[in-house]
């Protein structure tokens, strides 16, 4: 599999190192520094796919670079029509707004399909919440953490949830004991966080496709992967090169 792409500068190539759900360990970063200083020009660049690119590598050093990366837990990005590095935000482990473990999902998709040869390149991104910092809806498949609000029996119809809703999807009337939610809900979970009683949230996923189609709420991780698998396999079997 080819890993080295030609640069504008004659006789030089660059190679890209894949992140794991947007993460590198400190040891990996140290190894990338050594890689750049030993085989390149001591320079690195960050790519839009959360990869690290090492430029100015000579062709004679290709085998040594591959051996070095294999020995230092660095996975190289294949060139051409493949599933590209799956990007992910920090997710719920670090970000207070995070709903899902975005890096974990990205790693599982990589485990299932990473580097898979396809008719043309294929992009997947994972964002931990509807803030969508990763702009995953610009990918071929985008996954966003979502929360479906569920009103509990202890609701006192205070209206705090309706006040914080960014899109006005909630309607609350204390006099009539009315609580309703409409289809404009972004599944952001802000209403659940602010509720002083027992508005609960069912955690799930929204899936965006580049053609505009959306799975509005997927309830479990198993179903999520089944949808991703089916979409990638359909793409592999039905799309022509450069389509």
Please tell me whether residues 157 and 198 are part of one structural domain: yes
Among 28, 45, 71, residue at a domain's last position: 71
Question: pLDDT digit string (tens) for 196-240?
Answer: 988 999 999 999 998 788 888 999 999 999 999 999 999 999 988
Of 17-31, 51-65, 159-173, 229-243, where does mean pLDDT reach its minimum?
229-243
User: 45 has which bridge partners?
Assistant: 53
- 116 with 35, same domain? no
| pTM of full prediction above 0.85 | yes
Looking at 71, 105, 123, the residue that finishes a domain is 71
Q: Which of 56, 65, 75 is nearest to 6 (CA)?
A: 56
Cα→Cα distances 103→5, 152, 156, Å: 27, 31, 38
**Residue pLDDT, tens place only, 52-78:** 999 999 999 999 999 999 999 999 999
Q: Which residue has the higher pLDDT, 115 or 55?
A: 55
Give pLDDT, residue 239.
Answer: 86
Domain that holds residue 117: 81-243
**Region label for 231, one of left (φ > 0), alpha (ψ between -120 and 50) or beta (otherwise):** alpha
The reply to whether 114 and 225 lie within a common domain is yes
Contact 219, 165 (CB under 8 A): no
Identify which of 115, 102, 105, 121 has the alpha carbon closest to the alpha carbon of residue 227. Answer: 105
d(CA 220, CA 67): 40
Whether 184 has a pLDDT exceeding 80, the answer reads yes
């Amino acid at each position: 599999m080819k890993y080295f792409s030609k640069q504008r500068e004659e006789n030089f190539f660059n190679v890209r190192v894949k992140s794991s759900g947007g993460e590198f360990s400190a040891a990996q970063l140290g190894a990338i520094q050594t890689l750049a200083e030993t085989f390149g020009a001591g320079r690195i660049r960050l790519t839009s796919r959360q990869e690290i690119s090492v430029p100015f590598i000579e062709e004679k050093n290709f085998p040594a670079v591959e051996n070095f990366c294999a020995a230092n837990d660095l996975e190289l990005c294949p060139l051409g029509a493949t599933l590209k590095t799956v990007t992910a935000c920090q997710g719920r482990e670090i970000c207070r707004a995070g709903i899902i473990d975005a890096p974990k999902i990205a790693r599982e998709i990589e485990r299932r399909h990473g580097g898979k040869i396809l008719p043309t390149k294929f992009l997947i991104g994972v964002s931990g919440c509807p803030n969508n910092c990763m702009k995953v809806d610009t990918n071929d498949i985008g996954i966003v953490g979502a929360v479906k609000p569920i009103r509990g029996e202890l609701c006192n119809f205070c209206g705090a949830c309706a006040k914080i809703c960014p899109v006005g999807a909630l309607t609350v009337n204390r006099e009539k004991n009315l609580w309703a939610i409409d289809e404009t809900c972004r599944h952001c979970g802000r209403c659940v966080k602010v509720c002083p009683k027992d508005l609960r949230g069912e955690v799930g996923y929204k899936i965006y496709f580049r053609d505009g189609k959306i799975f509005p709420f997927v309830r479990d991780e198993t179903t999520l992967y089944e949808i991703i698998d089916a979409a990638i396999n359909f793409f592999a079997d039905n799309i022509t090169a450069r389509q």
